[in-house]
Structure 1
Amino acid sequence: MHIVISGGTGLVGKALSKKLRTLGHSVSILTRNRENKQNESNLQYVEWLSDTKPEQELGNVDAIINLAGASISKRWTKAHKKRMLNSRIKATQECIRIMQNLPERPNVFISASAMGYYGISRTDTFTEESAPANSNFLQEVSERWEKEAKPAEDMGIRTVYARFGLILDSKEGALPKMMLPYKLGAGGPIGSGEQWYSWVHREDVVHFLIHALEHSGMEGAYNVTAPNPERMRDFGKELSRVLRRPHWLPAPAFAVRMALGEMSVLILEGQKVIPEKTKQSGYQFYYENLDHALGSLLRKK
């Protein structure tokens, strides 16, 4: 297959592109600047979100995977919140425009979303069929993100919304930031510790996306979260055990809010998200339990 990826140089995109190529697929990565990016075997870089028309370079496309969006792991200033929303909206709108102008429309469009779609709760359990419990910035971004992808359905393209959990990776994303206090001997409970942490190993994200590509019956929203979320206090205890560092020094909620501002919602609040429809699709998680996931990422680090 010829697969087009936006956000192909990010945390998930890099690993996904590499895996697809090892499986024999051709990959085109949409990029704002292809300077110093060399085309390789089964890999090309195509400029977009500028004055270019990427559809003229892409040729026949079997699938588009939309992963583009500004990081949520930076402080949420007013300007960055605007970037977080606008980057996702513009990228998704451009994917739709490209599909409308390709010689033949792709078979499938997979667009990233986030478990933030459900709002926050310490008591509710959310599956793909759940309505949002409440509204906040991340919930509004996720809902708008999916809405902008919906025109693909109207074009007759099989459309999958991948609602990512908190992706675990040893070098990028939230996990290295969470590890730092433990490495300094100052790790411990964050806030109440009761908040849910619906995590997923990066390898499972990559394999789920390939699973969605290959299974033509899949469409609509899917939770890309491990089947066994953890409360933050238990996540921290497991992290301390794997790192062989103490878990003792509490970080009060007010201190986290002062340090991180509005972004603290990622740590102090959460939601228990279960991948019910994802498992029904036949996907089998490589990492269902946190001890296995953290062990694979950190024991040799």
Structure 2
Amino acid sequence: MARIESKVRELVGSDADMRDAVETVLERADDGEVAWADVRDELTSGQWGRLIEKGILVDGDEGFKLADADATRAGLEAPDEDSGSASATSTSVDTGDSSWSKYDKGAAVVTVGLFLGYSVSEVRDVIGGVMDVFLGPLATMLPFYAVVMVLALATGLYSTLLQANLMDMEKMGKYQERMKEIQKRQKDAKERGDDAALEKIQEEQMEAMGDQMGMFKEQFRPMVWIMFLTIPVFLWMYWAIGVGGANAQPHVTLEPLVLPMIGTVAWKDAVLGPMQAWIIWYFLCSMGFTQIIRKGLNIDMTPSSA
């Protein structure tokens, strides 16, 4: 069974101690069957569990048995020239641990709660009032278009720094490189008509799906912190401009806004579909400042395996 051979090769390739564990199970298997009591002096419970999890050991008549003893032995041998070496290179890529800390999870929960401010005026008023303690003095010193520029600069700065520090570009680059290499080997195997190699590669693709979920979590982790810090700023702008209801009144002095290629508009005028002028102005400032910050700090957000 090619799949059993591939699983054994992956286990021993990722953990050198698993080779001794597999050899012990092979040695002590009686007519293909082995019990935990037969090997517990040589194997840890974790190693025993991994053999069962991978399907190398399956239920037997009196305990467990090897799913395929010959394939298990073959998995301990060096891979062949055509497909094994490439497979070993691929499975040796360590995409690391993308698990979130308790702080990441806490920030995610709070962020979900902050989203209520967009639809619940009471929540928006509370957050807006609290943020006004810090941002109100700025609004009295500068015209509001300049206040939005300052906020766009601040959010662009910490967004860039959070992405640079919380996203591992090298790890993501390794994952992308691994997937490209798997696809290349799959194409070559199809051209050769090598069904055995295709079966191994398909199994490897299924196992790589777990890495893909890890990469999604890796990408979303900085977004949680960015939203955690940015949503209160947006809710303050909602509150300050008086967005969110027919009776909502602005809490700052608002002069007409001049947008590029559009001209003079009111802050709450719909400019691009339903998007109001203040949102357009914020995004224009944010995108411009973010590019300047990345260039100035020499921060590259492109995944790289180098």
Q: TM-score per shorter chain, which class?
A: under 0.3
| Structure (1 or 2) with the greater helix fraction | 2
> TM-score, length-normalised on structure 2?
0.23
> TM-score, length-normalised on structure 1?
0.23
Larger Rg: 2
Q: Using CA pairs under 8 Å that are at least 6 residues apart, name the structure with larger relative contact order, 1 or 2.
A: 2
